[in-house]
């Protein structure tokens, strides 16, 4: 989605966000979506628009949201941010800022 809605150098975007969404709707009417499901794609489109996520991040979020996954571990989102029902944690930030395990503690 971002490929057609962002300018490329001095060239304006191919489509506005609304135009790109209409194109996706047209494609839905022409071709069946096998996987990801049509609902996942629609959820990702809403997430991209609502949360200003990249297409990849919106798709990842949509998958988690649909399947009830409460936490996404990724350094690509804002650590601790809630996106609807899904919270994002940065695994690298957590590793740096968490207190080390006590000496002699078992795992």
The answer to whether residue 97 is domain-embedded is no
Look up residue 102 and give its DSSP letter. Answer: P
- Burial, 79: exposed, middle or buried (Cβ in 10 Å; 0-12, 13-18, 19+)? middle
On whether residue 60 sits in a domain, the answer given is no
At residue 97, the pLDDT reads: 56
Q: What is the pLDDT of residues 41-58, one digit of tens each?
A: 999 999 999 999 998 999
In a domain, 7, yes or no: yes
Mean pLDDT for the chain? Answer: 85
Range of the domain at 18: 1-31
Separation between Cα atoms, residue 107 and residue 89, nearest integer Å: 22
Query: CA of 73: how far to CAs of 27, 87, 92, 98, in Å?
Result: 32, 9, 9, 15
Determine the pLDDT at residue 99: 54
Whether 5 is in a domain gets the answer yes
Q: Is residue 27 in some structural domain?
A: yes
16 located within any domain:
yes
Do the domain assignments include residue 96?
Answer: no
Q: What is the pLDDT of residues 28-42, one digit of tens each?
A: 899 887 678 889 999
- N residues, the chain: 107
> Which pairing describes strands 86-89 and 71-73: parallel, antiparallel, or unpaired?
parallel
pLDDT mean over 74-93: 92
Q: Is the entire prediction scored with pTM above 0.75?
A: no
Sequence-ordered alpha helix ranges (H) in 9-103:
17-30, 38-51, 55-66, 91-97
Q: How many domains does the chain have?
A: 1
- Which of 4-13, 70-79, 81-90, 91-100 has the weakest average pLDDT? 91-100
Least Cα distance to 1 among 13, 11, 50 occurs for 13
């Amino acid at each position: 989605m971002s490929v057609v809605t962002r300018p490329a150098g001095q060239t304006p975007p191919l489509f506005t966000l609304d135009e790109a969404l209409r194109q996706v709707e047209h494609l839905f009417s022409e071709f069946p979506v096998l996987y990801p499901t049509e609902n996942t794609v629609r959820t990702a489109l809403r997430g991209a628009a609502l949360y200003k996520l990249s297409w990849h991040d919106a798709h990842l979020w949509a998958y988690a949201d649909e399947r009830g996954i409460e936490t996404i571990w990724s350094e690509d989102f804002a650590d601790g941010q809630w996106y609807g029902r899904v919270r994002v944690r940065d695994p690298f930030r957590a590793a740096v800022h968490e207190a080390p395990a006590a000496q002699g503690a078992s795992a």
